[in-house]
């Protein structure tokens, strides 16, 4: 894999985050069915992606939105 390119799973995680989900549990179900990941592992990978400059270059709108959400949650603690 080229250092400047995200892996397929990383791109899939960002694509899932761009989607809207209706109802409780819909996103977790999609994570399990489409990516084959446990939700906890999914959020670990997502959190690491938010700090990856390649993810920012690949999808700046989604990454910046999620970074803002993460920062506001940290500030609430």
Domain coordinates in residue numbering, the chain? 6-74
**CA of 31: how far to CAs of 4, 61, 64, 65, 71, in Å?**
25, 21, 21, 19, 23
Q: What is the pTM of this model?
A: 0.86
**pLDDT confidence bin for 3, thresholds 50/70/90:** low
* Distance separating alpha carbons of residues 59 and 53, to the nearest angstrom: 10
Sign of the Cα torsion 63, 65, 70, 75 reads positive
**pLDDT by residue (tens digit) across 9-65?**
999 999 999 998 888 899 999 999 999 999 999 999 999 999 999 999 999 999 999
Q: Judge whether residue 1 has pLDDT over 60.
A: no
């Amino acid at each position: 894999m080229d250092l400047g390119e995200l892996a397929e799973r990383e791109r899939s995680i960002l694509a899932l985050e761009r989607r809207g989900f209706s109802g409780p549990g819909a996103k977790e179900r999609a994570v399990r069915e489409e990516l084959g990941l446990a939700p906890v592992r999914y959020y670990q990978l997502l959190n690491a992606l938010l700090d990856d400059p390649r993810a920012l270059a690949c999808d700046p709108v989604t990454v910046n939105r999620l970074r803002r959400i993460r920062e506001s949650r940290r500030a609430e603690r």
